Structure 1
Amino acid sequence: MSNDIKHIKFQNPDMFWEIAADLYFPPSFDESKKYPTVISAHPIGSCKEQTAGNIYATRLADEGYVVIAFDASFQGESGGTPRLIEDPTQRVEDFRRVVDYLTTLPYVDTDRIGALGVCGGGGYVLASAQSEKRIKTVVSITGVNYGRMVRENAAAAGGPVAALKQIAEQRTAEAAGAEGAISAALPPSAEAAQQIGDIDVVEAYDYYCTPRGQSANGKAIFDVAHGASAMVWDAFAFAETLLTQPVMVVVGDKPGAFGAYRDGFEINRRAASEVKELVVLPGVSHYDLYDQPRGAGAALEKVIPFLAANL
Structure 2
Amino acid sequence: MATNTTIEHTTFRNPDMYWDIAADIYYPPHFDAHNSYPTIVSAHPIGSCKEQTSGNIYASALAEAGNVVIAFDASFQGASGGTPRFIEDPAQRVEDFRRVADYLTTLPYVDADRIGVLGVCGGGGYTLNAAMTEKRFKAVASITGVNYGRMMRETQGSNDAVIAALEAAATQRTKEARGADSAVAGMLPDSKEAAHDVGDIDIVEAYDYYRTERGESPNGCVLFENAHGASALGWDAFHLADTLLTQPLLVIVGDKQGAFGAYRDGHDIIRRAASKDKKLIVLENVSHYDLYDQPHGAGEALKSVIPFFAEHL
Two-structure CA RMSD over aligned residues (Å):
1.0
TM-score when scaled to structure 2? 0.98
2: distance between equivalents of 1:222 and 1:157? 21
Q: Does structure 1 residue 219 correspond to structure 2 residue 221?
A: yes
Report deviation, 1:158.
Answer: 5.1
Which amino acid in structure 1 is aligned with residue 122 of structure 2? G
2: distance between equivalents of 1:169 and 1:103? 42
1:264-285 per-residue CA deviation (whole Å, 9 max, x = no partner) reads 0000000000100000000000
Question: Paired residue for 2:10?
Answer: 8
Task: Give the one of 256, 275, 278 matched to 2:277.
Answer: 275
- Contact between 1:121 and 1:143, CA under 8 Å: does it hold in 2? yes
Report deviation, 1:183.
Answer: 1.4
Report deviation, 1:303.
Answer: 0.8
Q: Is the partner of 1:277 in helix, strand or coil?
A: strand
1:287-309 per-residue CA deviation (whole Å, 9 max, x = no partner) reads 00000000000000011111111
Q: Does structure 1 residue 190 correspond to structure 2 residue 192?
A: yes
Report deviation, 1:173.
Answer: 1.7
Question: Paired residue for 1:151?
Answer: 153
1:231-254 per-residue CA deviation (whole Å, 9 max, x = no partner) reads 111110010000000000000000
1: distance between equivalents of 2:197 and 2:177? 37
TM-score when scaled to structure 1? 0.99
Q: Is the partner of 1:254 in helix, strand or coil?
A: coil
2: distance between equivalents of 1:34 and 1:18? 26
Runs of 4+ that moved beyond 3 A: none
Question: Paired residue for 1:300?
Answer: 302
Q: Does structure 1 residue 63 correspond to structure 2 residue 37?
A: no
Q: Is the partner of 1:159 in helix, strand or coil?
A: helix
1: distance between equivalents of 2:278 and 2:312? 10
Which amino acid in structure 2 is aligned with residue 192 of structure 1? A
Which amino acid in structure 1 is aligned with residue 163 of structure 2? V
Residue pairs, 1:134-283, within 5 angstroms: 134-155=136-157, 159-283=161-285
Report deviation, 1:2.
Answer: 2.3
Question: Paired residue for 1:99?
Answer: 101
- Contact between 1:87 and 1:227, CA under 8 Å: does it hold in 2? yes
- Structure 2 portions without partners, runs of 5+: none
Q: Does structure 1 residue 23 correspond to structure 2 residue 5?
A: no
Query: Greater CA deviation, 155-164 or 20-29?
Result: 155-164
Which amino acid in structure 2 is aligned with residue 276 of structure 1? K
Task: Give the one of 52, 56, 59 matched to 1:50.
Answer: 52
2: distance between equivalents of 1:304 and 1:21? 21
Report deviation, 1:171.
Answer: 1.0
- Contact between 1:116 and 1:125, CA under 8 Å: does it hold in 2? yes
Q: Is the partner of 1:122 in helix, strand or coil?
A: helix
Report deviation, 1:177.
Answer: 2.4
1:132-171 per-residue CA deviation (whole Å, 9 max, x = no partner) reads 0000100000000000011111228952111100111111
1:105-135 per-residue CA deviation (whole Å, 9 max, x = no partner) reads 0000100000000000000110000000000
2: distance between equivalents of 1:165 and 1:177? 19
2: distance between equivalents of 1:157 and 1:292? 36
- Contact between 2:98 and 2:134, CA under 8 Å: does it hold in 1? yes
Mark the CA change 1:240 to 1:157 in structure 2 (over 3 Å): closer, same or farther: closer
Which amino acid in structure 2 is aligned with residue 267 of structure 1? I
1:18-67 per-residue CA deviation (whole Å, 9 max, x = no partner) reads 10000000000000000000000000000000000000000000000000
- Structure 1 portions without partners, runs of 5+: none
Q: Percent identity?
A: 68
1:192-230 per-residue CA deviation (whole Å, 9 max, x = no partner) reads 100000000000000000000000000100100010110
Which amino acid in structure 1 is aligned with residue 51 of structure 2? E
1: distance between equivalents of 2:159 and 2:207? 22
